């Protein structure tokens, strides 16, 4: 069996709505992943640093207060600067379709909108990490 | 045929209620209320109307409207005398943008204002702070100083509206901004009507927008309570909130129990600070969620009134009936709304709003259909407000008081809610009270578990959300219009602050902040010092930083 996926679940910015992040963290844990939850009010700097230090393959960011364009973009930049551009960034929250398109263009791998069921998130991450690992093995 | 009620207390209470109803201060809006088919509707129905005997525990558990234990409502006439306040929560962008929306709401027949602040304001940061980047004006209005508050209420006379402000960590400061705007308009503070949320305990439990640790936060709250009692007597000093607890995923019972437990903690803090319970308890208000389980919600509202009344009278020895009455605002459940087929949210909201009215709410916010996607558009807000107007003017649901009383189902549910809440109070007591329970993560864990359980039930199909796990439409594209926040907001707010910091008397700012710091180190009431700083145009961030230097900051241990 392959090693478990390591994922950082992060609450970015000043937003305190953590129901979604916690439910998703619990769901990913129950699906066999190693989940690190940052807790609230994290700056992009804190998130990128934690992702590197914890050596995760995926960062999942939750944003429900409208600051997603700034915060997601900044995390992507900081990961790149830290030489960790390979870490996949996904997210969820109150994010309009226009903004989803915009963020995916900037390099966010996937955004899950309100109402997404846990198995959908788990399946997507498992497939994406498998693909990424296969790619890395080839190199 | 009517049997004679057996109880002298019942007769006396009934007579008292009838006298109140007949008194000039209880004028009703129509001489005769009737159904759509012209049948008369009486103000109140009791077992007598069916010719039944009055149950032995009727007076202990139900009573008459406007009388202990207030299960049937806090006013003798309820909506026949005064309808609930239709209070739509809103705020976005700059103070100028939101001022325009407020004037629109008032023109459309809204009867109260409710300010939504942006995240930086809620967390006590100025718009130009580094942590505010990307967040200014996004989920509420940015207010960093008295100057912003002046703009927000420009052309809105503060003696003519009542204003609710959803602000907690920095509540004392935003309230001081409002009082100072009143001074500028020539409205003295005793004429101001409104509410500050100011409920820090539920922040630690659920909403997670805190600044200071619990104990100094409780001091700020008791300072506000004491200041209001002497200077702003018509102001509701705390809106003890279950809404955020419920939205974070709690059950109805947890919402009821944790909210009331928080309420009792504030009462105890006030008493410990040496205040007379009857001097401040009448200004405590509540704020609940109206979720989708129609009857459970109605039972929750009725049980809340009963529990509060009994405890305030029996445990805390309050003598003023105003201290016994639980008055509450309701907001329909944001977490019940779906991004999928968003128009369905109008229907959900209507049922939820009806449960709040049947549960006896004093004011109501109905969510807009587009709120799972963005802040609401003007059109969506109008539909939400019209939903309340349809309930009031078309359904006749508000024409008689507590219409579901006597329903076997609703009465039993009400009893069960009360018992289950009492069980939570016992568990919280065992942990040493609300603050120790929070420090141990007890309510946080209970809520997170309930949220996860709900999600699991949804995925197994045991719970249904239409459009999510049943009747869904794969490949659906959202076609409703969404509100966009102008990207210039960030810059405009920064620019406003820059010019404010240049034009104000900075020496005065320094002096008033130094005086505030000194007071914070001691035990004097902080409100007068905060007001001095605010009048000198010290900013929100400057005042918060001054207090942080004495009080420190709260940090939560993350759990999931």
Q: Which of B84, B232, B106 is nearest to B161 (CA)?
A: B106
Chain B 89-128, CB below 8 Å of chain A: which residues? Answer: 119-120, 122-123, 125
Instruction: Write the CATH number for A120.
Output: 3.40.50.280
The answer to whether B448 faces chain A, any CB pair under 8 Å, is yes
Q: How far apart are CA A9 and CA B419, in angstroms?
A: 38
Count how many domains chain A has.
1
Best of A18, A35, A71, A102 to mutate (most B CBs within 10 Å, chain B): A18
What does the DSSP 8-state code read for residue B5? P
pLDDT digit string (tens) for B489-511?
999 999 999 999 999 999 999 99
pLDDT digit string (tens) for B401-422?
999 999 999 999 999 999 999 9
How close does chain B come to A134, measured CA to CA in Å? 30
Is residue B251 very low, low, confident or very high in pLDDT (cuts 50, 70, 90)?
very high
Backbone angles phi, psi at B532, to 5 degrees: -60, -45
Q: How far apart are CA B149 and CA B88, in angstroms?
A: 19
CB B176 within 8 A of CB B170: no
Domains contained in chain B, CATH given: 8-61 (no CATH), 78-460 (3.20.20.240)
Tell me the average pLDDT across B97-103. Answer: 92
Chain B 484-523, CB below 8 Å of chain A: which residues? Answer: 485
DSSP letters of B327-361? -EEEEE-GGG--SSSTTHHHHHHHHHHHHHHHTT-
For residue B306, what are the contacts with CB-CB under 8 A and spacing of at least 6?
B61, B69, B70, B71, B414, B418
In three-state form (DSSP H/G/I as H, E/B as E, the rest C), the secondary structure along B417-447 is HHHHHHHHHHHHHHCCCHHHHHHCCHHHHHH
Tell me the average pLDDT across B115-143. Answer: 95
Q: How far apart are CA A113 and CA B212, in angstroms?
A: 33
Q: How far apart are CA B77 and CA B17, in angstroms?
A: 9
Whether residue A22 is contained in a domain is answered as yes
* A34-37 vs A88-93, strand pairing mode: unpaired
Whether residue A54 is contained in a domain is answered as yes
Chain B residues whose CB is inside 8 A of the A19 CB are: 247-249, 335, 448, 451
Is the pLDDT assigned to residue A48 strictly greater than 50?
yes
Beta carbons of A67 and B135 less than 8 Å apart: yes
For residue B414, what are the contacts with CB-CB under 8 A and spacing of at least 6?
B71, B299, B302, B303, B306
Beta carbons of A27 and B372 less than 8 Å apart: no
What does the DSSP 8-state code read for residue B242? -
* B235-236 vs B238-241, strand pairing mode: unpaired
Give me A76's structure tokens.
């992507």
Instruction: Give bridge partners of residue A37 from the DSSP assignment.
Output: A9
Chain A residues whose CB is inside 8 A of the B203 CB are: 16
- Count Cβ atoms below 10 Å from residue B29 Cβ, excluding itself: 13
A-B CB pairs within 8 A amount to 110
Compute chain B's Rg from CA coordinates. Answer: 24
Chain A residues whose CB is inside 8 A of the B458 CB are: 117
The confidence score (pLDDT) of residue B109 equals: 77
The confidence score (pLDDT) of residue B6 equals: 57
Give me B87's structure tokens.
């209070």
- Nearest neighbour of B478 by CB, restricted to A15, A25, A97: A97
Whether residue A39 is contained in a domain is answered as yes
Whether residue A19 is contained in a domain is answered as yes
The confidence score (pLDDT) of residue A1 equals: 56
- Nearest neighbour of B451 by CB, restricted to A19, A66, A118: A19
Q: How far apart are CA B220 and CA B365, in angstroms?
A: 28
Best of B131, B169, B208 to mutate (most A CBs within 10 Å, chain A): B208
Whether residue A92 is contained in a domain is answered as yes
Chain B residues whose CB is inside 8 A of the A118 CB are: 455, 459
Q: Is B500 exposed, middle or buried (0-12, 13-18, 19+ CB in 10 A)?
A: middle
DSSP letters of B449-461? HHHHHHHHHHHHT
Angle, vertex CA B282, rays to CA B277 and CA B284, nearest 5: 95
CB B286 within 8 A of CB B240: yes
The confidence score (pLDDT) of residue B4 equals: 52
- Nearest neighbour of A94 by CB, restricted to B247, B372, B458: B372
For residue B496, what are the contacts with CB-CB under 8 A and spacing of at least 6?
B94, B127, B144, B147, B148
pLDDT digit string (tens) for A24-46?
999 999 999 999 999 999 999 99
Is the pLDDT assigned to residue A91 strictly greater than 80?
yes
Is the pLDDT assigned to residue B2 strictly greater than 50?
no
pLDDT digit string (tens) for B336-387?
999 999 999 999 999 999 999 999 999 999 999 999 888 889 899 999 999 9
Chain B residues whose CB is inside 8 A of the A117 CB are: 458-459, 468-469
How close does chain A come to B244, measured CA to CA in Å? 9
Instruction: Give bridge partners of residue A34 from the DSSP assignment.
Output: A6
Query: Quick one: how far is CA B116 from the chain centroid?
Result: 12
DSSP letters of B39-84? -B--S---GGGGTPPPPTTHHHHT--TTSTT-TT-SSSSGGGTSPP
Q: Higher pLDDT residue, B162 or B306?
A: B306
Nearest CA in chain B to A116: B468
Share of chain B above pLDDT 90, in %: 89
Beta carbons of B459 and A117 less than 8 Å apart: yes
Whether residue A1 is contained in a domain is answered as no
* A110-112 vs A34-37, strand pairing mode: unpaired
Whether residue A51 is contained in a domain is answered as yes
Report helix, strand or coil for A76. helix
Q: Which of B137, B184, B195 is nearest to B161 (CA)?
A: B195
The confidence score (pLDDT) of residue A66 equals: 86
Chain B 252-291, CB below 8 Å of chain A: which residues? Answer: none
Cis peptide before B480 (omega within 30 of 0): no
Q: How far apart are CA B469 and CA B340, in angstroms?
A: 11
Best of B135, B291, B375, B553 to mutate (most A CBs within 10 Å, chain A): B135
The confidence score (pLDDT) of residue B1 equals: 41
What is the biggest distance separating any 2 CA atoms in chain A, rounded to whole angstroms? 41
Chain A residues whose CB is inside 8 A of the B197 CB are: none
Residue A108: domain span: 6-138
Give me B190's structure tokens.
């005793």
For residue B300, what are the contacts with CB-CB under 8 A and spacing of at least 6?
B252, B253, B255, B256, B288, B359, B417
Q: How far apart are CA B316 and CA B321, in angstroms?
A: 13
CB B272 within 8 A of CB B233: no
Which residue in this structure is represented by tokens 């809340």?
A: B304
The confidence score (pLDDT) of residue A115 equals: 87
- Count Cβ atoms below 10 Å from residue A109 Cβ, excluding itself: 17
Residues B444, B447, B449, B451: is their CA dihedral positive or negative? Answer: negative
CB B331 within 8 A of CB B243: yes
Chain B residues whose CB is inside 8 A of the A75 CB are: none
Which residue in this structure is represented by tokens 């916010």?
A: B365
Beta carbons of B558 and A39 less than 8 Å apart: yes
Whether residue A55 is contained in a domain is answered as yes
Average per-residue pLDDT for chain B: 94
Is the pLDDT assigned to residue A23 strictly greater than 80?
yes
């Amino acid at each position: 069996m392959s090693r478990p996926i390591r994922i950082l679940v992060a609450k970015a910015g000043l937003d305190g709505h953590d129901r979604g992040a916690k439910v998703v963290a619990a769901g990913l844990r129950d699906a066999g992943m190693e989940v690190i939850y940052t807790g609230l009010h994290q700056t992009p700097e804190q998130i990128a640093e934690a992702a590197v230090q914890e050596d995760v393959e995926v960062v999942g960011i939750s944003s429900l207060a409208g600051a997603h364009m700034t915060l997601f973009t900044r995390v992507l930049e900081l990961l790149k600067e830290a030489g960790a551009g390979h870490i996949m960034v996904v997210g969820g929250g109150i994010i309009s379709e226009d903004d989803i398109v915009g963020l995916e263009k900037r390099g966010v791998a996937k955004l899950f909108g309100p109402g997404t069921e846990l198995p959908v998130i788990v399946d997507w991450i498992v497939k994406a990490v498998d693909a990424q690992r296969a790619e890395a093995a080839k190199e | 045929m009517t049997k004679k009620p057996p109880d002298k207390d019942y007769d006396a209470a009934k007579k008292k209620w009838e006298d109140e109803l007949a008194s000039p201060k209880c004028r009703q809006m129509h001489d005769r209320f009737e159904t759509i088919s012209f049948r008369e509707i009486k103000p109140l129905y009791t077992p007598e109307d069916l010719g039944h005997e009055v149950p032995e525990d009727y007076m202990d558990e139900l009573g008459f409207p406007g009388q202990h234990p207030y299960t049937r409502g806090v006013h003798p006439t309820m909506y026949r005398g005064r309808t609930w306040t239709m209070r739509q929560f809103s705020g976005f962008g700059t103070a100028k943008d939101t001022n325009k929306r407020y004037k629109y709401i008032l023109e459309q027949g809204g009867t109260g204002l409710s300010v939504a602040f942006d995240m930086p304001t809620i967390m006590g940061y100025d718009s130009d702070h580094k942590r505010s980047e990307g967040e200014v004006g996004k989920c509420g209005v940015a207010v960093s100083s008295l100057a912003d508050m002046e703009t927000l209420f420009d052309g809105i006379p503060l003696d003519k509206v009542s204003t609710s402000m959803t602000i907690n960590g920095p509540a004392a400061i935003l309230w001081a901004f409002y009082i100072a705007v009143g001074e500028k308009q020539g409205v003295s503070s005793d004429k101001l009507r409104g509410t500050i949320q100011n409920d820090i305990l539920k922040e630690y439990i659920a909403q997670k927008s805190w600044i200071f640790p619990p104990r100094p936060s409780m001091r700020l709250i008791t300072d506000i309570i004491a200041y209001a009692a002497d200077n702003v007597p018509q102001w509701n000093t705390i809106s003890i909130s279950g809404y955020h607890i419920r939205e974070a995923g709690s059950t109805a019972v947890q919402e009821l129990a944790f909210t009331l437990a928080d309420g009792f903690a504030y009462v105890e803090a006030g008493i410990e600070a040496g205040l007379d319970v009857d001097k401040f308890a009448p200004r405590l208000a509540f704020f609940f969620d109206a979720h989708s389980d129609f009857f459970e919600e109605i039972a929750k509202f009725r049980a809340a009134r009963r529990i509060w009344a009994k405890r305030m009278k029996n445990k805390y020895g309050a003598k003023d009936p105003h201290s016994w009455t639980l008055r509450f605002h309701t907001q329909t459940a944001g977490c019940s709304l779906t991004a999928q087929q968003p128009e369905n949210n109008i229907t959900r909201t209507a049922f939820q709003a009806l449960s709040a009215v049947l549960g006896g709410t004093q004011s109501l916010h109905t969510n807009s259909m587009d709120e799972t996607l963005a802040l609401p558009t003007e059109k969506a807000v109008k539909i939400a407000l019209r939903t309340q107007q349809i309930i009031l003017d078309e359904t006749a649901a508000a024409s008689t008081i507590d219409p579901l009383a006597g329903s076997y189902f609703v009465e039993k549910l009400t009893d069960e809610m009360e018992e289950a809440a009492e069980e939570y109070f016992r568990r919280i007591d065992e942990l040493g009270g609300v603050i120790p329970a929070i420090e141990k993560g007890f309510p946080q864990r209970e809520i997170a578990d309930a949220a996860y359980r709900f999600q699991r039930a949804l995925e197994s199909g045991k719970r249904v959300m239409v459009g999510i796990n049943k009747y869904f439409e794969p490949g659906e594209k959202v076609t409703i219009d969404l509100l966009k926040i102008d990207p210039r907001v960030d810059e405009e707010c920064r620019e406003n602050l820059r010019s404010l910091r240049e034009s104000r008397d900075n020496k005065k700012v320094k002096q008033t902040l130094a005086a505030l710091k000194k007071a914070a180190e001691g035990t004097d009431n902080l409100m007068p010092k905060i007001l001095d700083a605010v009048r000198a145009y010290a900013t929100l961030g400057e005042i918060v930083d001054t207090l942080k230097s004495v009080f420190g900051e709260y940090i939560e241990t993350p759990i999931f």
